């Protein structure tokens, strides 16, 4: 079977090099298309999502789940930090558009139902009760006493358009590789 390069390049070594370069170029283009439209990798920085995720772990977040269904309670999402969009935050959705989030007696409630978790000592600077605005999500870190999340105005409720993706796979470190069951 002859290739395009058989007729264009007479030297077999140059022809093989051209074929390899073309294959590499195609692979790079496919990688960037997949990265742009299907998935991203993020690194956990800090302790705000412990015990689900620890500092230094790496995750794949995918846009595909949100092609099929809207973000939901308990989803772990990545989104850009408003004050430095190059930083990606990882947090858990606890409130959907229209939900009433309240904080009293060191306990969060969503629509008057307490959410699970340890008592919270870090209050943030958002005024409660709060109705989650349309098209946004209220997020918290799992380690709520060490998390900068929707309780703070500089994070706030996360617009759906800003969601980079849903955490679907932890791929680093090797001993903690696993799919989403967080």
User: Same domain, yes or no, for 120 and 82?
Assistant: yes
- Contact predicate 34/63, CB 8 Å: no
State the burial class of residue 129 (Cβ atoms within 10 Å of its Cβ: 0-12, 13-18, 19+): exposed
Based on the domain organization, do 33 and 43 belong to the same domain? no
Phi, psi of 171 (to 5 degrees): -115, 0
pLDDT in tens, 134-154: 999 999 999 999 999 999 999
Q: Tokens in use for 154?
A: 């500089």
Question: 12-43 b/e with 16+ CB inside 10 Å = b?
Answer: eeebeebeeeeeeeeeeeeeeeeeeeebbebe
Residue of 2, 3, 13, 48 marked catalytic: 48
Query: Do 82 and 168 fall within a single domain?
Result: yes
Computed over every residue of the chain, the mean pLDDT equals: 89
Give the model confidence (pLDDT) of 15-69 as tens digits: 788 888 888 988 888 877 776 767 888 999 999 999 999 999 999 999 889 988 9
Q: Structural domain tally of the chain?
A: 2
Q: What is the CATH number of the domain that holds 56?
A: 2.10.109.10
Beta-ladder partners of 76 = 92
Q: Which member of 88, 91, 147, 166 is catalytic?
A: 91
* pLDDT at position 18: 82
CA distance linking residue 169 with residue 111, whole number of Å: 31
Residue 20: give the domain boundaries.
4-37
91 noted as active-site residue: yes
Would you call 147 a catalytic residue per the annotation? Answer: no
């Amino acid at each position: 079977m002859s290739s395009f390069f058989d007729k264009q390049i007479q030297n077999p070594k140059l022809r093989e090099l051209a074929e390899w370069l073309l294959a590499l170029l195609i692979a790079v283009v496919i990688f960037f298309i997949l990265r742009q439209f299907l998935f991203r990798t993020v690194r956990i920085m800090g302790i705000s999502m412990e015990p689900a995720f620890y500092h230094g772990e790496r995750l794949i977040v995918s846009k595909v789940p949100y092609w099929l269904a809207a973000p939901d309670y308990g989803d772990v999402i990545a989104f850009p930090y408003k004050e430095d969009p190059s930083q990606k935050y990882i947090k858990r959705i606890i409130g959907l558009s229209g939900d009433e989030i309240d904080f009293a007696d060191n306990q969060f409630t969503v629509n008057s139902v307490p959410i699970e978790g340890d008592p919270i000592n870090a209050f943030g600077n958002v005024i409660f009760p709060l109705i989650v605005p349309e098209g946004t999500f209220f997020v918290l870190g799992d380690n709520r006493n060490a998390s900068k999340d929707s309780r703070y105005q500089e994070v706030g409720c996360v617009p759906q358009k800003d969601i980079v993706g849903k955490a679907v796979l932890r791929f680093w470190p090797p001993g903690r590789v696993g799919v989403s069951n967080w």
